[in-house]
A = this chain, B = another copy of it.
Amino acid sequence: MKIAVINPNTTVEMTRVIGVAAARSAAPTTELLIRQSSHGPSAIEGPFDGAVCLPGLLRAIQQAEADGARAHVIACFDDTGLDAARALSHRPVIGVGEAALHVASLVAQEFCVVTTLSRSVQTLKMNILRYGFERRCPQVLASDIPVLDLHRPESGAREKISDLIMRAMENGAEAAVLGCAGMADLAATLQQELGIPVIDGIDAAVRLAEMLAASGLAPSKRRGWAFPSRAGDFLQKD
A-side interface residues toward B, CB under 8 Å? 25, 39-43, 45-52, 54-55, 58, 81, 83-84, 86-88, 92, 94, 98, 102-103, 105-111, 118-123, 126, 129-136, 169, 172, 174-175, 188, 191, 195-197, 199, 203-204, 207-208, 211-212, 214-226, 228-231, 234, 237-238
Copies in the complex: 6
Partner of A175, one of B211, B220, B234: B220
Q: How far is the CB of A231 from chain B (nearest CB, A)?
A: 6
Partner of A220, one of B98, B107, B133, B211: B107
Instruction: List the 9 closest pairs (A to B, CB-CB), nearest first.
Output: A132-B132, A51-B84, A48-B228, A47-B83, A122-B224, A174-B220, A108-B220, A51-B54, A174-B222
Rounded to whole angstroms, the CA-CA distance of A211 and B223 in the bound complex is 30
Rounded to whole angstroms, the CA-CA distance of A238 and B52 in the bound complex is 9
Q: Could you tell me if B230 and A103 are in contact, using CB atoms closer than 8 angstroms?
A: no
Instruction: With a 10 A CB-CB cut-off, give which of A49, A109, A135, A188 has the most chain B CB atoms.
Output: A109
Tell me which residues across on chain B come within 8 A of A223, comparing CB atoms. Answer: 109-110, 118-119, 121-122, 172, 174
Q: How far is the CB of A80 from chain B (nearest CB, A)?
A: 9
Q: How far is the CB of A76 from chain B (nearest CB, A)?
A: 14
Rounded to whole angstroms, the CA-CA distance of A212 and B102 in the bound complex is 11
Closest to A230 in B: B41
Partner of A211, one of B47, B208, B218: B208
Rounded to whole angstroms, the CA-CA distance of A231 and B196 in the bound complex is 21
Q: Could you tell me if A52 and B204 are in contact, using CB atoms closer than 8 angstroms?
A: no
Partner of A225, one of B109, B211, B224: B109
Q: Could you tell me if A224 and B47 are in contact, using CB atoms closer than 8 angstroms?
A: yes
Q: Could you tell me if B230 and A84 are in contact, using CB atoms closer than 8 angstroms?
A: no
Q: Could you tell me if A46 and B226 are in contact, using CB atoms closer than 8 angstroms?
A: yes
Rounded to whole angstroms, the CA-CA distance of A220 and B226 in the bound complex is 35
